[in-house]
Amino acid sequence: MALLEVKDVSKQYGRKKAMDHVSFEVAAGHIVGLIGPNGAGKSTTMRAITGLMSYSSGQITFDGQPITFSNHQALDKIGNLIEYPAIYPNLTALEHLKLYAMDTKTPADFQTLMKKTQIDGDNFGKRKAKQFSLGMKQRLGIAIALIRNPKLVILDEPMNGLDPQSVHDLRALIRELADDGVAFLISSHLLDELQKLVDDVVIINHGKIIETATMTAFFSHDKTRWLFDTSDNRAALDLAKSRAWAATLTDGHVEIDGADNLQQVITAFNDAGLIITAIQTVTGNLEKSLLDMLANDDKGE
Amino acid sequence: MLTLMKQEYYKAVKQSRLYIWLALSFIFPLAIMAVFKTQRSGESVVAFGQGTLYVFLAGIIVTALSISQEFGFGTIRPLLSRRFSRGMIFASKLLLNLSVYLALFVAAFLGTMLGKLLFVSHFDLNQSFNAIGTGWQVMGLTFIATLLQMFFIAGLVLLITNLVKSSGAAIGLGVVMIVGTPILSSISAMLIHAAPILKWNPFNIYLGLAMLGMPGSAYKAVVHFSQNTVLSAYVVYLLMMYGAAYLIFKKRSV
């Protein structure tokens, strides 16, 4: 059963439709990526879910309880980091956690959370947040989103300002929490990172949901492609085309995505006397798929 | 509500600014009495060594920052995206502001008492001071009148802050209201001269608060109302200003 249900929600600013009959669900233990270009309606959707903004029609429920602009008791079990971390410059990291933990009877263990979100080092200690770097503030923002042991965590661009190691560790933490049943709704422009993390995707453009799918289903229409380096790439390309495979020369490699299987291609090249020096498998790419999808959506308008 | 109050107090006590304000509130009357020999008098003691002016200014700044700061820090979103209603959040801000006003008064009172001990030791607060009563009673009335005026200006400041989401304009207006009494008095007089109904203008009511305790006939000649009418109009203005500030706060998308 879905933990968060967004049903047919619309929001209009003047003539602009910021949310146009938006519907999707987030189930417990699932990590859902909310993706789309700038101004597509991602932050607006997140703000509507967190009771920060009114919506003209539709319904948002969390754990069966409605969430509206004026009624948001259900937010007790939702943590969020929307757009930028909410930091008081005169408080330390620990003081922030203490402050936000006052909201709940069952906060997360401070020390464990600080360790997991890497805000326990000497860099933090007794330093006030006004001295923190962007990455440090971001990590603290994530810790704040998690301090109340939420059932759902909404993260808007959580990887902003984080170094590669921190991004890796954050991914591991989110996966660990999701395995424990916490649901996540995450938006990010770092699609490669998102692709490694999310179970489901919700794609939004011009305030409208244009696709909701599991990651597996999302890429199911993509046939696996291969990049070949051979002793004669031009001859390899001609051969592929003569077999009616969709083949192109991409960055000096021969890219083939119309063949039934890899063995078929290797055999054909060997028979033609071409020496294969390297093969690279190219799986589904969220960024490419998203761009294709948005281009098609924009054409359709 | 208790949780919200705890959080507001927690944020306040962690700001070094609060302690600076309180320290200055303590030092202000003391310094006035130490520096100006003319202020070493009973009149100065019952007026908190003119510390009410400082308390007023600090209170206005506290009020203006109480909400605008949350916008400035970007903390308004987590503040509002919780199970608490906006009414409760607004009320918790008001209660914190009230607590700070009172703390500022306590600090000013302590500074005044130390100043009295050091520079005006001959003055006895238990003795009859003027037509109103003893020194203590006059001091109490000064406290109440200043507090009522603070609520009035704070309501206006809160309204402006909520409208423009910035403290600058609100603080500016608050300061003008505090130090520009002669200007306000002139504006009010002109308005009343132009149309007697304009005696209900907020400046006149505000000025009437500052004169509470004055003999009835003199009061009426200046303010054009009895003290009870001024207090009733004051309550209506207060409800309007705080009500409008709350409505803006309640309706705002962030």
| Other CB atoms within 10 Å distance of the CB of residue B37 | 9
CATH number assigned to the domain covering A2-219: 3.40.50.300
Q: State how far the Cα of B78 lies from the Cα of B70, in Å rounded to an integer.
A: 10
Give me A204's structure tokens. Answer: 């939004």
Q: State how far the Cα of B230 lies from the Cα of B149, in Å rounded to an integer.
A: 12
What integer is the mean pLDDT of B27-56?
89
Confidence of residue B37 (pLDDT cuts 50, 70, 90): confident
Residue A210 buriedness (CB in 10 A; 0-12 / 13-18 / 19+): middle
Write down the domain spans for chain A: 2-219, 225-282
A43 or B173, which is more confident: A43
Q: State how far the Cα of A195 lies from the Cα of A286, in Å rounded to an integer.
A: 6
What integer is the mean pLDDT of B214-228?
82
Mutate to test the interface with A, among B17, B83, B85, B246 (most CBs of A within 10 A): B83
Tens digit of each residue's pLDDT (9 = 90 or more) over B118-160: 988 888 888 887 877 888 998 998 898 889 888 988 898 888 8
CB contacts, 8 Å: B78 with chain A:
80, 86, 100, 144
Q: State how far the Cα of A250 lies from the Cα of A256, in Å rounded to an integer.
A: 10
CB contacts, 8 Å: A73 with chain B:
83
Are A186 and A158 in contact, with CB atoms under 8 Å apart? Answer: yes
Contact B80 A51 (CB under 8 A): yes
Q: Considering Cα of A253, then A256, then A257, then A261, what sign does the dihedral take? A: negative
Which pLDDT does position B180 carry in this prediction?
72
Please give, rounded to a whole number of angstroms, the shortest distance from the CA of A90 to a CA of chain B.
6
Percentage with pLDDT > 70 across chain B: 99
Which pLDDT does position A223 carry in this prediction?
62
Which pLDDT does position B226 carry in this prediction?
86
Mean pLDDT of chain B: 87
Average confidence (pLDDT) per 10 residues, chain A, 301 residues: 91 86 93 88 91 91 90 87 88 90 82 82 80 87 91 91 85 91 90 83 88 75 77 90 84 79 85 89 71 71 56
Main-chain phi, psi angles of A220, to 5 degrees: -65, -30
Please give, rounded to a whole number of angstroms, the shortest distance from the CA of B163 to a CA of chain A.
17
Identity of residue B199:
K
Which pLDDT does position B243 carry in this prediction?
95
Contact A98 B78 (CB under 8 A): no
Interface of A with B (CB under 8 A): 47, 50-54, 69-70, 72-76, 78, 80, 82-91, 95, 98-100, 102-103, 144
Contact B7 A51 (CB under 8 A): no
Please give, rounded to a whole number of angstroms, the shortest distance from the CA of A101 to a CA of chain B.
10
Burial B168-192 (b: 16+ CB within 10 A, else e): eebbebbbebbeeeeebbeebeebb
Reference A209, options A13, A68, A44; nearest CA is A44
- Write out the H or E segment, with its range, that includes residue A153: strand A152-156
Three-state DSSP at A12 gives strand
List, in sequence order, every residue forming a beta bridge with A25; answer none if it has no partner: A5
Residue B111 has pLDDT above 90, yes or no: yes
Please give, rounded to a whole number of angstroms, the shortest distance from the CA of B164 to a CA of chain A.
18
Tell whether B75 lies on the interface with A, counting CB pairs under 8 A: yes
Tell whether B122 lies on the interface with A, counting CB pairs under 8 A: no
Contact A80 B11 (CB under 8 A): no
Tell whether B6 lies on the interface with A, counting CB pairs under 8 A: yes
Identity of residue A170:
L
Confidence of residue B183 (pLDDT cuts 50, 70, 90): confident
Of A50, A70, A91, the CB nearest to B14: A91
Please give, rounded to a whole number of angstroms, the shortest distance from the CA of B89 to a CA of chain A.
13
**Nearest Cα residue in chain A from B18:** A90
Q: Considering its fold, how many domains does chain B have in total?
A: 1
CB contacts, 8 Å: B254 with chain A:
47, 52-53
Contact B11 A91 (CB under 8 A): yes
Angle at A216 between CA A211 and CA A217, to 5 degrees: 45
| Other CB atoms within 10 Å distance of the CB of residue A237 | 20
Domain of B87, in residue numbers = 2-251
CB contacts, 8 Å: B3 with chain A:
102-103
Please give, rounded to a whole number of angstroms, the shortest distance from the CA of A135 to a CA of chain B.
16
Please give, rounded to a whole number of angstroms, the shortest distance from the CA of A94 to a CA of chain B.
12
Which pLDDT does position B114 carry in this prediction?
94
**Nearest Cα residue in chain A from B15:** A90
Reference A276, options A241, A223, A239; nearest CA is A239
CB contacts, 8 Å: A127 with chain B:
none
Residue B191 has pLDDT above 80, yes or no: yes
Tell whether B80 lies on the interface with A, counting CB pairs under 8 A: yes
Contact A52 B253 (CB under 8 A): yes
Considering the domain delimited by A225-282, tell me its CATH architecture. Answer: 2-Layer Sandwich (3.30)
Contact B81 A75 (CB under 8 A): yes
Are B6 and B13 in contact, with CB atoms under 8 Å apart? Answer: no
CB contacts, 8 Å: A70 with chain B:
85-86, 250
Q: State how far the Cα of B66 lies from the Cα of A52, in Å rounded to an integer.
A: 19
Tens digit of each residue's pLDDT (9 = 90 or more) over B67-108: 888 888 888 888 888 888 899 999 999 999 999 999 999 999
